[in-house]
A and B are shown apart, each in its own frame.
Chain A
Amino acid sequence: MTAVSRLRQRYWLTAFRQSSFGRAVIRRLPGRVKRGLRAGHRWQRRAGAQLRTRWRRSLQFRVVSTTLVLCVLVIAVLGYFLVQTIATGLLASAEKSATAQAAAARSTILGLSNVLVLQPPEADSPTANAPNVAEVAARTALDEGGSAGKYLVAVHLTDPQADPQADSVPWVAEDTFNPSATIPSGPSGLLAGVSQEQSDEKFDNQYVPVPQYQPTTLVGNDGQSLGPTLAVGVPLGPYYQLYYVYPFTSEQSFLLLVQRVLIGAGLALAVLLAAIASLVTRWVVLPVRHAAQAAQRLSAGHLEERMRVLGVDDLAALATSFNEMASSLQGKLRELEELSKVQRQFVSDVSHELRTPLTTIKMAADLLFESRGELEPGSARSAELLQSQLERFETLLVDLLEISRYDAGAATLDADLVDVCDLVRNSAADAQQLAERRGGRIEFRLPATGCFAEVDRRRVERILRNILVNAVEHGEGKDVVVTTAMDNDAVAVSVRDYGVGLRPGDEQQVFERFWRADVSRARTTGGTGLGLAISLEDAHLHGGWLQAWGERGKGSVFRLTLPKLAGQELAGSPLPLGPDDAELTGTILRD
C-alpha cells in the first residue's frame, strides 16, 4: 500500500467517523460490534506495523515479496493475453465451420425438389404453406451436418406480406439438444445482414450469398440466459432465411480448463520463483548477516573475530577485506595498549623512584625540624622552610602522579554504596578550619534522609575537599553554602560562594591544568594548580559532571553531579547551576 493510498484511506475513515452520519451509525452499533471493530482495527494496525518492520529489517523478505508480487503480475498479464488469443482462435474456427455448414445446407435445401423454398408461400397449398416448407427445410438442415443435436436450426419467413398467417410462425425451429431453449430473437445486425444478402441475391441471380454470423446469447423459455452462442444466417431463396445457432458449450469448457491450468501453473510458478528467490537471497544475505555479526562482536571487543572466506567471489572479497580491517584494527589497538602499558609502567616507576628518596629527605627534614631549637637562627629557619616546601613538593608529586595515571587510562573506580552527605561533612574539615581563620563559616543544607549513591569514596572526598577549599579561598571571608540533593538517578552537591566570582569564559578554564584565576593573587594555600583538573577527571570517571558558574563580584557555584549507580548515564542534575530564584529575590530557602 503506498503512503498516498494509506493516507487517503485514513482520510476517508476519519471523514466517515466525523460525519454526522458516521457518528450516528457508530453510535447505534451494539457494544460487542464496536469492541470487535476496535479490536479488528488494532489487530490490523499491529499486523501492519509488524509487516512494515519486517519489510524494513529483512532484505530477504523484501526480495521474496517483491518477486512474488511481480511474478503474479506478469503471469496474470501473460495469462490474460493467452486466454484472449485462444478465445479468438476458437471463435474464428467456429465461425469458419459454421459458415461452411450453413452454405452447404443452403445448397442442399435449394437442390431438393420437394422443398418449395423458392416459391412464394401459399397458405392454402398443402405443400407450399410456409410452416410446412420451413419445417421440411429445417429438418434437412439439421441432418446436414451429420451431427444433429449440437446446434439449433431455424428457418425464417422473410416476407410476412406474402402470407398473412406466416406471421404466427416466423421461426420454425428444430431443437433437439435443449427443449427449453428458444432461438434468440435479438441479433438485429445479423437479421439485417442476412436480409441484405437476400435482396442482393434477388437482384442478381448469379450472386452466391455469403453466410452472415454474429455471437449472441441463447435465452431459455423462461427468459434465462443459457450462455453464449454463435448465430449464422444465410438467405434460402427470396422468401426464407436459414439460421444456425451454435452454443459455445465445448469451447467455453475448454477455455475454462485453459484458465484453470493457467492459474494453477501460474501460482505454482510464482511460489516456486519466490522459493528460488528466497534461496538465492539467503546465499547473499547469510554471509552479509555473518559479517554484521562479526562486526558486532568485533566492536564489542572480541578482536579475534574473523569471517570465514569461501571461494573467490564478491562475498569472499567482503570477508577478506573485513578480516584485513579486523587485523589492522587489532594491530593498532595492541600498539595503543602497549603504549599505554609502557606509560603506566613509567608512571609507576617514577612514582617509586621518586618516593623513596623523598621519604629519606622528609625524615631527615623532620629530624632537623624537631631539633631546630639547637641550631643557629639561619639554619633553624632553613629547616622550617625545608619542612614546609617538602610538603608542597609532595602534594605536587601526588597530584602529578594522579593526573598522569588518568592520562595513561590507569585510573580505576573503586565504587561503594555510601552516603554522599557523610562525605560532604567529612571533607569539609580543612575548609572549615580555613573559613574560621577567614571569619566566615560553611552552611550545610543536607537532606535529613541521606543521599546514598555508588561512588568511590576517596575520589569524591577529594573533589569535595577541592571545591570547598576553593570556595573558602575565593569567598573573601563570606559564608559558603553547601547544598546536597538527589533524585531517582543522580546525587548533586553544589558549593556556593559569594566572593570574587569568575570572569565570563572562565567557567571552562578553571578546570585546566595549572590555571590561576588571577596571576597576581597571592598563593595563600599553596594549591598545586592541578586540583580542579583532577577533580574533573574524578567526576568523569564516575560518569558524572563537575561544572562551574560564576559572575564577577557575585560569587560562583561549583556543582558536582554523580549517577546513583556507577556507570549509569546522567540525564540531568537535581540542583541548578547558578544562583537559584530564591537567592535572586533575596529570600533564603531552608530544607
Chain B
Amino acid sequence: MKGRVLVVDDDAALAEMLGIVLRGEGFEPTFVADGDKAVEVFRDSRPDLVLLDLMLPGSDGIDVCRQIRAESGVPIVMLTAKTDTVDVVLGLESGADDYIMKPFKSKELVARVRARLRRTDEPAPEMLQIGDIAIDVAGHSVKRGPETLNLTPLEFDLLVALARKPRQVFTREVLLEQVWGYRHAADTRLVNVHVQRLRAKIEKDPEHPEIVVTVRGVGYKAGTG
C-alpha cells in the first residue's frame, strides 16, 4: 500500500502529533503549514492522500481543497473544528471526500485514512453499464459514448457500487459503509453531497437525474437510463 500523506495544518503541535501517529502506522507524512504554499508542496510531493485543516492562515482550507481538486482526484480528508452544517457541506462541496471532526481519536483518523487509500486489489476485468454510461472497473474509466468522464476515485467507487446492483435501492447508511468504509452510521450528508457532485459530472441534466435516481425516503439507486 502506498502511504504518502500530505498534512496541511498550521498548528505545529497538532501537525507533529499527526506525524508521530502516521509514521507509527507506516505512512510517510509531509507537512505544510501555510495555505498559500499547500498547492506547490502538493505538486512536489505527489501524495496519495491529503489531510487538510479547514482553518488555515493565508488562503482558506476550502480554497486549497478546490485548487487541489482542480488538478487531481487524490483523496482529500478534511480536519474540521466546525460542526455547523453549512461549513461541513461547504467543505464537502469544494471537493473533500471525507471529513473528521476535531477532537478525534488516533484510531479513527487512521481508519479513515486507510479507508480512503484502500483500493481493491487489481479488480477483475469488468464492464458495467448504467443508461448510456459505460464503466470499465479495471481500467478505472467512465465513458458516455466516445467521451471520457473525469471522476475522482471516490465518485468512481460510488458509481460502481450503484452500478453493480442495478435494481437495488441503497440507503445512505449502506453507501457510507460500502464506499466510505464506515462500520456504523455516520453523517449521511457525506452521501448527499457526493451524489450531487457525481450527478453534476455524469447527468445530462443534473436537475432531473437519470443515472443516479433518488428513492424518496429511502436512498439512491442506479437509473435505467
Are A360 and B81 neighbours in the complex by a CB distance under 8 Å? no
B-side contacts of A414, CB under 8 Å? 85
Q: In the bound complex, do residue A352 and residue B85 qualify as a contact, i.e. CB atoms below 8 Å apart?
A: no
CA distance A355 to B103 in the complex (A): 6
In this complex, the interface size class of chain B, counting residues with CB under 8 Å from chain A, is 20 to 34
A352 touches B81 (CB 8 A): yes
B17-A351 in contact (CB<8A)? no
CB-CB < 8 A to B11: which residues of A?
Answer: 356-357, 360
Q: Are A357 and B85 in contact (CB under 8 A)?
A: no
Q: Does B102 lie at the interface of the complex (its beta carbon under 8 Å from any beta carbon of A)?
A: yes
B83 in contact (CB, < 8 A): yes
From the candidates A351, A352, A363, A417, name the one contacting B21 in the complex (CB within 8 A).
A363
Pick the contact of A359: B55, B83, B104, B217 (CB < 8 A): B104
B107 and A362 form a contact (CB under 8 A): no
Distance A351 CA – B106 CA, assembled complex (angstroms): 20
Q: Judging by beta carbons under 8 Å apart, are A363 and B85 in contact? A: no
Q: Are A417 and B217 in contact (CB under 8 A)?
A: yes
A397's nearest neighbour on chain B, judged by CB, is B103
Bound CA span A356–B109, Å = 14
| A410 and chain B: residue at smallest CB distance | B84
Question: CB distance A359 to B102 under 8 Å?
Answer: yes
Name the residue of chain B whose CB is nearest to the CB of A402: B83
Is B14's CB within 8 Å of the partner chain A? yes
Interface-central residue, B13, B20, B102, by most chain A CB under 10 Å: B102
B18 within 8 A of A: yes
Is B105 a contact partner of A356 (Cβ separation < 8 A)?
no
Q: Which residues of the other chain, A, contact B103 by a CB distance below 8 angstroms?
A: 355, 358-359, 361-362, 394
Q: A352-B55, A357-B13, A417-B217 are in contact. Are A363 and B81 (CB under 8 A)?
A: no
Interface size of A by CB at 8 A reads: 22
Q: Does A570 contact B (CB under 8 A)?
A: no
**A348 contacts across to B, CB distance below 8 A:** 82, 84
Task: Give the Cβ gap from A172 to chain B, nearest Cβ, in Å.
Answer: 115
| B17–A360 touching, CB < 8 Å | yes
Nearest Cβ distance between residue B190 and chain A, in whole angstroms? Answer: 14
Question: Quick check: is A399 within 8 A (CB to CB) of the other chain?
Answer: no
Complex CA gap A133/B43 in Å reads 152
Report A416-463 residues with CB < 8 Å from chain B CB. Answer: 417, 426
Q: How far does the alpha carbon of A358 sit from the alpha carbon of B83 in the complex, in Å?
A: 15
Pair A356/B81 contact, Cβ less than 8 Å: yes
Q: Are A355 and B102 in contact, with the CB atoms below 8 A?
A: yes
* In the complex, chain B residues 8-22 whose Cβ is within 8 Å of any chain A Cβ: 11, 13-14, 17-18, 20-21
Interface positions, chain B 150-190, Cβ under 8 Å from A, are 185
| Contact for B14 among A359, A417, A426, CB less than 8 A | A359
Cβ distance B9 to chain A, nearest Cβ, rounded Å: 9
Complex Cα spacing A361 to B106, Å:
11
Q: Which residues of B contact A325 (CB under 8 A)?
A: none
What mask results when residues 344 to 368 of chain A are scored 1 for a CB within 8 Å of chain B, else 0? 0000100110011111111110110
Give the distance in Å from the alpha carbon of A394 to the alpha carbon of B24 in the complex: 25
Question: Does any Cβ of B come within 8 Å of A108's Cβ?
Answer: no
**Nearest CB of chain A from residue B129's CB, rounded to whole Å:** 32
Task: Knowing A356-B11, A357-B13, A417-B217, say if A366 contacts B106 (CB, 8 Å).
Answer: yes
Q: In the assembled complex, which residues on chain B have CB atoms less than 8 Å from the CB atom of A362?
A: 103-106
Task: Decide if A363 touches B82 in the complex (CB within 8 Å).
Answer: no
For the complex formed, measure the closest distance between the CB of B93 and the CB atoms of chain A, giving whole angstroms.
Answer: 16
Residues in chain A near residue B102, CB distance under 8 A = 355-356, 358-359
CA of A359 to CA of B9, assembled, Å: 13
A412 lies within 8 A of chain B by Cβ: yes
State how many angstroms separate the Cβ of B4 from the closest Cβ of chain A: 20
What separation, in Å, do the CA atoms of A352 and B80 have in the docked complex? 8
In this complex, what residue of A is CB-closest to B188?
A457
The residues of A that contact B104 with a CB separation of less than 8 Å are 359, 362
List chain B residues, Cβ under 8 A from A357. Answer: 11, 13-14
**Which residues of B line the A interface, CB within 8 A?**
11, 13-14, 17-18, 20-21, 24, 55, 79, 81-85, 102-107, 109, 185, 217
19 other A-B residue contacts (CB within 8 Å) besides A360-B11, A412-B85: A348-B82, A351-B83, A352-B55, A355-B102, A355-B103, A356-B11, A357-B13, A360-B13, A362-B103, A362-B105, A363-B17, A363-B18, A363-B20, A363-B109, A364-B17, A367-B106, A394-B103, A401-B83, A410-B84
Q: Show 26 A/B contacts (Cβ-Cβ < 8 Å), sorted by A.
A: A348-B84, A351-B81, A351-B83, A355-B81, A355-B102, A355-B103, A357-B13, A358-B103, A359-B102, A359-B103, A359-B104, A362-B105, A362-B106, A363-B17, A363-B20, A364-B17, A366-B105, A366-B106, A366-B107, A367-B20, A367-B21, A367-B106, A410-B84, A412-B84, A414-B85, A417-B217
Task: Give the interface of A toward B (CB within 8 A).
Answer: 348, 351-352, 355-364, 366-367, 394, 401, 410, 412, 414, 417, 426
Smallest CB-CB A-B distances: 6 pairs: A355-B81, A352-B81, A355-B102, A359-B103, A358-B103, A366-B106
